[in-house]
Amino acid sequence: MRPSWRATLAAVPLLVSACGPAPSETAGVGSPSIVATPRTESPSTAPAATASATPAPAGLAVDSLVEILVTDLVVRSRPGTVPPSTILDGRLTTPDRAFVVAGPVAADDYDWYLVAPLNRGDGSRGPFGWVARASREGEEWVRSVAAPCPTLVDLAGVISLQPLERLACFGDETLTLTASVIGCGAGGGPWAFNPSWLVQVGGCGIATDASGDRVLLYRVPPGSSGPAAAPVDVTGHFDDPAAASCTVTSADPVAFPAPSPEEAVILCRSEFVIGAGP
- Residue-wise pLDDT tens digits, 35-77: 333 334 444 334 333 333 445 577 899 999 999 999 999 999 9
CB-based contact 117:128 (threshold 8 Å): yes
| Distance (Å, whole) CA 171 – CA 15 | 18
- Residue-wise pLDDT tens digits, 75-131: 999 999 999 999 999 999 999 999 999 999 999 999 999 999 999 999 999 999 999
Q: What is the pTM of this model?
A: 0.79
Q: How many other C-beta atoms lie within 10 A of the C-beta of residue 254? A: 8
| Distance (Å, whole) CA 100 – CA 78 | 15
CB-based contact 226:220 (threshold 8 Å): yes
User: Which residues neighbour 237 within 8 Å (Cβ) at sequence distance 6 or greater?
Assistant: 170, 172, 173, 174, 175, 272, 273, 275, 276, 277, 278
R_g of the chain computed on alpha carbons: 20
Helix 261-269 to helix 11-19 angle (10° resolution) is: 120
CB-based contact 136:121 (threshold 8 Å): no
**How far apart are the two ends of the chain, measured CA to CA in Å?**
32
Give the pairing of strands 65-68 and 73-76: unpaired
Exposure on the CB side of residue 206, measured as CA atoms within 13 A = 28
Burial 216-233 (b: 16+ CB within 10 A, else e): bbbbbeeeeebbeebeee
- Residue-wise pLDDT tens digits, 197-232: 998 777 899 999 988 888 999 999 999 888 988 999
Q: Per-residue confidence at 14, pLDDT binned at 50, 70, 90?
A: very low
Exposure on the CB side of residue 12, measured as CA atoms within 13 A = 9
What integer pLDDT is reported at residue 55 of this predicted model?
A: 56
Whether the predicted pLDDT of 23 surpasses 50 = no
Say which DSSP state 230 is in: S
* Residue at 132: amino acid letter: A
| Distance (Å, whole) CA 75 – CA 86 | 8
What integer pLDDT is reported at residue 30 of this predicted model?
A: 33
Q: Sketch the domain layout of the chain as residue ranges.
A: 8-20+148-274, 31-145
Of 218, 208, 213, nearest to 184 by C-alpha is 218
